[in-house]
Structure 1
Amino acid sequence: MHKEIRMLHKEDYQHFAEMDTGISDDYVGRIFDRLTTGNHRLYGLFLDDQLVSMGGYSIFAGRYAMLGRLRSDRRFRGKDLATELLSHILNGAFKVNGIEWVGGNTQEDNTPARRVLEKIGLTPILTVHGVLSQDISILKSDARPWKQINSVERKWFWLQERYVKTGKVFPYECYYSFPSSHALFQEEEIEKWTFFENEEQTRFIITKRDQKGHQYLHVVYPWNDFSTQKGFWETVAKGYDQMQKEIELEDKDSDTEKSKGFPGAKESFIWLDLTKDEVQRLPQEHPFEVPPAWVLYGVRKEERK
């Protein structure tokens, strides 16, 4: 039986459709074309002319590659084909000009996926819950929201101090976090993010809009004392209210909706990435849904053996 690993193109969709993955209504099928172009790559492992394992990566900020879309045909599992494929993809990603870090995300209880990531040389970096809520009014008091930062210099000061200098993992998008570097913070991205600072100028919050099916106000806060910071929840609520107003306006104007890059407005949520310890720090009667945790794996180019 002939074995081959190659890059996939949109014309390979039928090979994907014929796989028995056990996943009903797989989103990968709906966006297969997009995952083979631009900053996305898909690869397939074929036995003769049958696609039996698939995976790929997406490039962020020209420096980071995130593995994903791992799919295996159930009829061929148990042969380490997924490990062989991902190892090939990892090696290929590091050959792309500029890539310095490759990672992967999987749910904490997905033992087979975690085993594959570890076999190819990735190590766990961070475990977080993406907690969600549509109404945090129960957390609000009469405190004033924090003041919005308009100074570009002040925004860069905070990013440098709390992320770039420390290499702390930054939640770049919902589901996509990366070890910080100057390259991660592109000027055009920062312009889309809203920064807030407390009265004492000792803490800051970033809120940014994201869409992963639903609309999200992605809240970034690099400390674990949110429950004791006066005005924190009021600031988050203010940002969420503003996002909902934007969505309502876009729903009335489809042209504006398309130009913003957020088509098909659906339900909206507040999203915070919290560690297990931070989840425990939430008030007992908190309004957040706490889904299963995700584990971020990764390896730097210079760390590879």
Structure 2
Amino acid sequence: MKTTIRLLQNNDYPHVQDLDTGIEDDYVKDIFDRLIQGPSRLFGLFQDGQLVSIAGYTIYAGSYAMLGRLRSDRRWKGNGFSTSLMTHVLNAAFTLHSIKWAGANTQEHNLSAQRVIEKNGLSNYIILHGAVTKDTSALETGAKPWNPVTDLQRKRDWVQQTYVKSAQVFPYECYYPFPGSMDLFQDHDLEQWAFYENDDQTRVLITKTDQKKNHYLHAVYPWSDMATQPGLWETISSDYGRLKEQTGEDTYIWMDLTKEEAQTLPANHRFELPSPWLLYGIYKEEYEKLG
């Protein structure tokens, strides 16, 4: 039996449609054309000409590769194809000169995907809930909202202090967190994102907009004391209200919360806390040492 791995093209769509993955309404099939161009690539593993597994990567901020879209035909599972394909995708990502770090996100209950990722040398960075809500009233205290930060250098100073120096994980988009570096904080992004700081300038909040089917105000707060900061939630609520006026009812607040942070929410909070995601990753120099 002959096994081959290659980049998928437009004319491979019928092969992808024929995969028996058991996933209902698989978004990969819906946006296949977008996953094979631009910053994304999709690879297929073929057994004697039959597509049995797919996976790919997308480039973010020029130097980060997020691996994913791993799908296997249920009739061919147990043959190690997923691990072989992920190894190929990871190698392909790191052949790109600009890529410094590659990662993968999988839900906590997806043990098979975690095994594939770990076999390729990636380490777990953090576990995060993608928490969403339309109502922050349980956390509001009536305090005044925080002060907007408009100076670009002040924004640079904040991200340098909170994310870059420590390489703390920064949620660059909904579903896509990465270890911090200045590559994630280009001036055009900093100018577009809203920054707010409290009166004594010891805390900062970043808000930005995202769309993953629904519209989101993505609120980013780099500390674990979010339940005790007067004015924080009033600031988030104010920005959310302005966004909702523009985008309509299918608009939510999104915050990436660790399990420990989720436990600090009051009992009457209105956040939905779906199964958390595990972020895995590896830097190129670490991967090269693995041989």
Task: Give TM class, smaller chain.
Answer: over 0.9
Alignment partner, residue 284 of structure 1: 267
Question: CA RMSD of the aligned region, Å?
Answer: 0.9
Q: Unpaired segments of 5 or more residues in structure 1?
A: 249-265
Per-residue deviation, 1:126: 0.3
Aligned equivalents of 2:124, 2:219: Cα separation in 1: 23
Report whether the alignment pairs 1:267 with 2:286.
no
Letter in 2 for 1:290: L
Aligned equivalents of 1:177, 1:105: Cα separation in 2: 9
Report whether the alignment pairs 1:165 with 2:148.
no
The structure 1 segments of at least 4 consecutive aligned residues displaced by more than 2 Å after TM superposition are: none
Aligned equivalents of 1:146, 1:56: Cα separation in 2: 41
- Residues 19 and 51 in structure 2, CA contact (< 8 A), matched pair in contact too: yes
Alignment partner, residue 89 of structure 1: 89
Per-residue deviation, 1:246: 2.2
Alignment partner, residue 24 of structure 2: 24
Per-residue deviation, 1:198: 0.5
Q: Tell me, what secondary structure is at the counterpart of 1:291?
A: coil
- Residues 169 and 180 in structure 2, CA contact (< 8 A), matched pair in contact too: yes
Match 1:293 to one of 265, 269, 276: 276
Aligned residues: 288
1:130-187 C-alpha deviation (Å, 9 max, x unpaired):
1111111232222000011111011011001111111111000011000011111122
Letter in 2 for 1:228: T
Aligned equivalents of 1:238, 1:70: Cα separation in 2: 39
Q: Unpaired segments of 5 or more residues in structure 2?
A: none
1:185-219 C-alpha deviation (Å, 9 max, x unpaired):
12222222110110111100001101111111111
Aligned equivalents of 1:238, 1:65: Cα separation in 2: 34
Letter in 2 for 1:203: R
Aligned equivalents of 2:59, 2:68: Cα separation in 1: 11
Q: Percent identity?
A: 52
Give the alignment's TM-score, normalised by structure 1.
0.93
Letter in 1 for 2:104: G
Aligned equivalents of 2:279, 2:2: Cα separation in 1: 34
- Residues 138 and 266 in structure 2, CA contact (< 8 A), matched pair in contact too: no
Aligned equivalents of 1:153, 1:186: Cα separation in 2: 12
Per-residue deviation, 1:94: 0.3
Letter in 2 for 1:76: W
Give the alignment's TM-score, normalised by structure 2.
0.97
Q: How does 1:180-259 map to 2 (within 5 A)?
A: 180-248=180-248
- Residues 209 and 218 in structure 2, CA contact (< 8 A), matched pair in contact too: yes
